[in-house]
Structures are given as C-alpha cells and as structure tokens.
Chain A
Amino acid sequence: SQTIHQWPATLVQPVGSPLSLECTVEGTSNPNLYWYRQAAGRGLQLLFYSVGIGQISSEVPQNLSASRPQDRQFILSSKKLLLSDSGFYLCACKTGSNYGYTFGSGTRLTVV
C-alpha cells in the first residue's frame, strides 16, 4: 500500500515570506495527487490536483501554487504568504480504481 510523506509537520512563517511544502509518495506509481486545506475541526477544501508530471489543476483562486516535478512528488508554494494562508495542509493520493484516498500527516502552517 502507498505511504505519503509530508514535511514539515509544523511551520511558523512571517507575512510576506515564501512557502514550500513537499509531499512524496511511496509504494505506488502514476498516482493522482491532491493538496487540501482544512480549517480547525472542519471539512477539507481541495486546492490543487494533479494527474501526472507537470499537470496541475487549481480548484480555487488563491495566493498559492502547486508543482509536480516528478511522478511521486507534489509541492505547494507561495511567493508571499498572507495571514489567511494559515491552516492545516494535507497531501493525498489516489491510485488506480481504488476509491479511497491516502493522506499524509499534514503540515500546520501559521502565518504571523
């Protein structure tokens, strides 16, 4: 079964600073990859998804961008963070005909 690695687990960044969150997947190839953001104790909002290297779809307009430089690597970035970018960011993957998503352990981002 696949495993997702996300880092860092927590991050405190000043407003206006850049951001780079990385997600890597093990145990599978050619996965669909997703970035979600979650408000405290609430549901997940889909930010970006990717079906292959270099292919990114954005779900909501925002201050963030995503890239997929390798098959099992997904990166979430920002050039200048806003206070509203604070939240819990989750990477997920889906493979083949499996219905379920596998999630990473998340990154808690606080913009100060």
Chain B
Amino acid sequence: TQLLEQSPQFLSIQEGENLTVYCNSSSVFSSLQWYRQEPGEGPVLLVTVVTGGEVKKLKRLTFQFGDARKDSSLHITAAQPGDTGLYLCAGAKSSSGSARQLTFGSGTQLTVLP
C-alpha cells in the first residue's frame, strides 16, 4: 500500500507555464519534505513543512502543507528548463528522534521544454 500518492505521475510543459504537483495521503504526518532528483543523482532536499496550513516559498516554488497535515502541494511559477527533474514528497510520521522516519511518494517526473 502506497501511503503517499503523487499526481500527476508525468508532466510535460512549455517554459513559462505554471504547474502544481500534489502529494496526498490518508495518514497524518508530523512533517513533510519535498526533494528534487536529477537523472543519475540522489534526491536533494528542497523544503520541509511542519505546521498544518504552512506555506513556504523558495524563489518560484511555493510549497503548502494541508491544514490536516495529510497532503501537500508544490506550485512552480514560470517554469524553466532547469526545473526539469523528478519531484518526490516524503512524510515523517513520528518525532525527529525516530530512525525509521520517511515514507516517500511515487514521484512526479516534470519536463520543461524550452
């Protein structure tokens, strides 16, 4: 059973367009993270959200944690080819002291065409 569902699975858009990626679950998470991964590399952490309803901005990227802490979204404004990559959400279900923390979503492969 996949605890974190991401949608869409694939997304191909033109440079300059806006997009939103969703991460949904029936479980409550204490925090949620977003990573971006490029081919042949490991994922790189973009942001962590910890409070229900929290919104964080990272340049053209806006991350939101749902009020009930079960879902999250990533919105990219004016996408650029450099935004191309696999976007992964990951949820933590316990305190930071626990070793077995993160559950990863299935990923959204974004391609931004010039």
A positions within 8 Å CB-CB of B: 4, 9, 32, 36, 41-44, 46, 49-51, 57, 59, 90, 92, 94, 96-106, 108
B positions within 8 Å CB-CB of A: 2, 4, 6, 31, 33, 40-45, 48, 50, 86, 88, 90, 92, 96-97, 99-102, 104-107, 109
Enumerate chain A residues within 8 angstroms of B44, measured Cβ to Cβ. 103
Enumerate chain B residues within 8 angstroms of A9, measured Cβ to Cβ. 40
Enumerate chain A residues within 8 angstroms of B43, measured Cβ to Cβ. 44, 90, 101, 103
A106–B42 touching, CB < 8 Å:
yes
Q: How far is the CA of A24 from the CA of B1 in the complex (A)?
A: 32
B48–A104 touching, CB < 8 Å:
no
B102–A101 touching, CB < 8 Å:
yes
Enumerate chain B residues within 8 angstroms of A41, measured Cβ to Cβ. 86, 107, 109
A32–B107 touching, CB < 8 Å:
no
Q: How far is the CA of A68 from the CA of B92 in the complex (A)?
A: 24
List 6 A-B pairs, Cβ < 8 Å.
A36-B104, A43-B2, A44-B88, A59-B100, A96-B96, A97-B96
Q: How far is the CA of A86 from the CA of B57 in the complex (A)?
A: 37
Q: How far is the CA of A44 from the CA of B2 in the complex (A)?
A: 11
Q: Which of A43, A99, A104 contacts B42 (CB 8 A)?
A: A104
Given contacts A90-B42, A104-B42, A106-B41, contact A43 B106 (CB under 8 A): yes
Nearest residue in A to B92 (C-beta to C-beta)?
A99
Given contacts A32-B99, A100-B33, A100-B48, contact A43 B107 (CB under 8 A): yes
A22 to chain B, nearest CB (A): 15
Nearest residue in B to A96 (C-beta to C-beta)?
B96
Task: Give me 17 other A-B pairs in contact (C-beta within 8 A), A97-B96, A103-B44 excluded.
Answer: A9-B40, A41-B107, A43-B2, A43-B107, A44-B104, A46-B100, A49-B100, A50-B99, A57-B100, A59-B100, A92-B42, A97-B97, A101-B33, A102-B45, A104-B42, A105-B40, A106-B41
Enumerate chain B residues within 8 angstroms of A106, measured Cβ to Cβ. 40-42
B48–A99 touching, CB < 8 Å:
yes
Nearest residue in A to B101 (C-beta to C-beta)?
A94
